[in-house]
Amino acid sequence: MAVAARKAGRAGSGAANKTTSTKGSTRGAAPNSPQFDKNQDLSAYNEMLLIRRFEEKSGQMYGMGLIGGFCHLYIGQEAVVVGMQMATKEGDQVITGYRDHGHMLACGMDAKGVMAELTGRRGGLSKGKGGSMHMFSKEKHFYGGHGIVGAQVSLGTGIAFANHYRENGNVCLTYFGDGAANQGQVYESFNMAQLWKLPVVYVIENNRYAMGTSVSRASAQTDFSKRGVSFGIPGEQVDGMDIRAVYAAGQRAIEHARSGKGPYILEMQTYRYRGHSMSDPAKYRTKDEVTRMREEHDPIEQVRRRLLESWKLSEDELKAIDSKVREIVNEAAEFATHDPEPDPSELYTDILL
């Protein structure tokens, strides 16, 4: 077990070959996981819980017919984006695919605006014209929200190119899944990023299923940390359910990119509890598998245990956090339910500047 935060080593040095397969391994907090102080655990708990509750509410509102089209929930993967965000500094950018609600909340985008976009209302972050997969915030350095699998990898590399061009010291975190990791433009981007030493961290969120296809049925190389080997891009496999491991790996990767050494790959081993999208019953995996992940590796439960056991918080104190988070989510849902739809005149705006 315990594949957490193990360095896969630099490609070309031969060290990468020492990385053992993670297939069939159980995952949990590694014994040598980096530690969080009380404030870090509290903050992690708050942020992850917000995403969890927000997504549960999204699922509920989808069920009520308030959210249309596609809706991809992030439940189970919260530690990845929250841990990575803890390792960034102001100015660093984030770009991801369509499973993006968690990323937006972690970037500090307004829950009301996100939820109202999901319901297609005028107060949505894209004025109701983007939907679940298409939201952006220049102010929070969040560049979307992209619906074409893998497209964000070239785009994120371009944002890193702009950082390099401007010499502004910022790093772009480019998230994609195990499915997108097989797209051709990912490797075109890896090549250019390493060739030009662009400040980009590729965060591969390996949740084990590309829609309904398990990693082993779609990928010849299932160790995604090795996907940059032929370009000389270092990579690590990280226990993406342990926020401390995510944070520590994030710090290493971001430091590498910021110091001018070029791109870095983090394979986040994580798990989505829900189907690919709301209309996916997820029959391609066993209930036991899902239950085991939820019961033994839940990223929020891990922090909750530490808050109770190590930091001696009371159940009441945790309950207070929970109510506060619920309040934010309920307010967002309330707003998103009653905010009017966009004015019909919006049909023909924002096409060109």
Partner 1 sequence: MAIDILMPALSPTMEQGKLAKWLKKEGDQVKPGDVLAEIETDKATMEVEAIDEGVLAKILVSDGTDNVAVNTPIAILAGEGEDVSAAASSAKAPAASAPAAQPAPTPDMQAEGLADRPAPAERPQQTDLSTPAAPSVITNRTSYNAMAEIPEGTELVNMTVREALRDAMAEEMRKDEGVFVMGEEVAEYQGAYKVTQGLLQEFGAKRVIDTPITEHGFAGVGVGAAFTGLRPIVEFMTFNFAMQAIDQIINSAAKTLYMSGGQLGAPIVFRGPNGAAARVGAQHSHDYAAWYSNVPGLKVIAPYTASDAKGLLKSAIRDPNPIVFLENEILYGQSFPVPKLDDFTVPIGKARIHREGKDVTIVSFSIGMTYALKAAQELEKEGIDAEVIDLRTIRPMDTDTIVASVMKTGRCVTVEEGFPQSGIGAEIAMRIMENAFDYLDAPVARVTGKDVPMPYAANLEKLALPSVAEVVQAAKAVCYR
Q: Which residues, numbered 128-147, are part of the site for partner 1 (CB under 8 A)?
A: 128-130, 134-138, 143-147
Q: Where are the alpha helices (DSSP H) in the chain?
A: 38-63, 78-86, 101-106, 111-118, 151-166, 184-195, 215-218, 243-256, 287-297, 299-309, 315-338
- Does residue 125 touch partner 1 according to CB under 8 A? yes
Greatest pairwise CA separation for the chain in angstroms: 60
Question: Least distance from C-beta 226 to partner 1, angstroms?
Answer: 20
Residues 300, 255: Cα–Cα separation, whole Å: 26
Q: In the range 291-330, which residues lie near partner 1 by CB under 8 A?
A: 294
- Based on CB atoms, which residue is closest to partner 1, 39 or 167? 167
- Does residue 110 touch partner 1 according to CB under 8 A? no
Retrieve residue 249's tokens: 């790996």
Q: In the range 264-283, which residues lie near partner 1 by CB under 8 A?
A: 273, 275, 278-281, 283
- Does residue 151 touch partner 1 according to CB under 8 A? yes
Residues 127, 208, 297, 306: which binds partner 1 (CB under 8 A)?
127
Residues 23, 190: Cα–Cα separation, whole Å: 25
- Does residue 240 touch partner 1 according to CB under 8 A? no
Residues 302, 29: Cα–Cα separation, whole Å: 8
Residues 28, 40, 43, 59: which binds partner 1 (CB under 8 A)?
59
| Single-letter code of the amino acid located at 79 | A
- Based on CB atoms, which residue is closest to partner 1, 10 or 134? 134
Residues 8, 50, 159, 245: which binds partner 1 (CB under 8 A)?
159
Q: Estimate to the nearest angstrom the gap between the alpha carbon of 298 and the chain centroid.
A: 15
Looking at residue 137, the DSSP 8-state letter turns out to be B
- Interface stretch with partner 1, choices 39-47, 185-193, 201-209, 216-224 (CB under 8 A): 185-193
